[in-house]
Structure 1
Amino acid sequence: MTARIILQLAALLGALGVGIGAFGAHGLRKMLEASGRFDTFETAVRYQFYHALALLAIGILYHMRPELRGLGTTAWLWLGGILVFSGSLYVLCLTGFTKLGAVTPIGGLLLIAGWITLFLAARQL
């Protein structure tokens, strides 16, 4: 994954995080509160946003230090983690389909693995 793609993903995921968060807070709040899933929805948005900002940081670092190949791996892991972790929580909150809850921890593991690969890549600095 290139620095340009990482930065574009960060921008896209950040914009989506703002949009999804606003839609949840305003358009879906009553439905989410009625189902008891408003906090879960906020968690999904928060983790998406944290990792969009983290992608922004590694995209900048990767642009400056392209030899740090592990940053591309970090980006892939975080992208997968956002899609699986936040995505499964969004589906749960919006549809009530609880079977996807079994894959949410896999998304969390992908996010953790991304932080570990960042640690390993940073050893090269």
Structure 2
Amino acid sequence: MTKSSTINLIIAFGAFNAFIAVAAGAFAAHGLKDILSAEYLNTFKTAANYQMMHGIGLILIGILSEKNPSRCNIAAAIFMFVGIILFSGSLYALTLTGIKWLGIITPFGGICFLIAWLTLGFNYSFNKNGLNKN
């Protein structure tokens, strides 16, 4: 896979996750408000919010990677995507199924988010050429 196609894939994953987050938020507001408890509805909305934030994060990583295609950016994108699956996915599944043990998975997604943001931050903190690295 070329660097260009990898960057395009990261941006596409970000856009698709943002799309899913908007749809999930609308579903929560219009389809689930009378079905789920207030606690579960809030949890579902939290999942959608984090999915949106990190979908935008993936788009940001893709844009940054156009100027600075680095392994750190790719690693950050992978951790961010896995974080979305584990964090938001487990919360969606928990609220829709009521299976409480799914909540055990959620913190692992949060850890992936933290690693992604730290990786991105360290990449640009220690990059002597800033955004112009080739």
TM-score, normalised via structure 1 length = 0.93
| 1:81-117 Cα shifts (integer Å, max 9, x gaps) | 0000000000010000111111111110001010110
Question: Take 1:23 and 1:17, find their aligned partners in 2: how far apart are those partners?
Answer: 10
Question: Take 2:117 and 2:29, find their aligned partners in 1: how far apart are those partners?
Answer: 29
1:40 to 39, 43, 66: 43
1:18 matched to 2:30? The reply is: no
Cα shift at 1:33: 2.9
1:113 matched to 2:115? The reply is: yes
Aligned residues with identical type, % of pairs = 40
| 1:62-89 Cα shifts (integer Å, max 9, x gaps) | 01221x2201000000000000000000
Unaligned residue ranges in structure 2 (runs of 5+): none
Q: Residue 69 of structure 1 contacts residue 121 of structure 1 at CA under 8 Å; is this kept in 2?
A: no
Secondary structure of the equivalent of 1:18? helix
Aligned position for 2:85: 83
Matching residue's letter, 2:96: L
Aligned position for 1:95: 97
Aligned position for 1:72: 74
Q: Which runs of 4+ in 1 moved over 2 A?
A: none
TM-score, normalised via structure 2 length = 0.87
RMSD: 1.3
Cα shift at 1:32: 1.8
Q: Residue 10 of structure 1 contacts residue 56 of structure 1 at CA under 8 Å; is this kept in 2?
A: yes
Matching residue's letter, 1:57: L
Matching residue's letter, 1:14: A
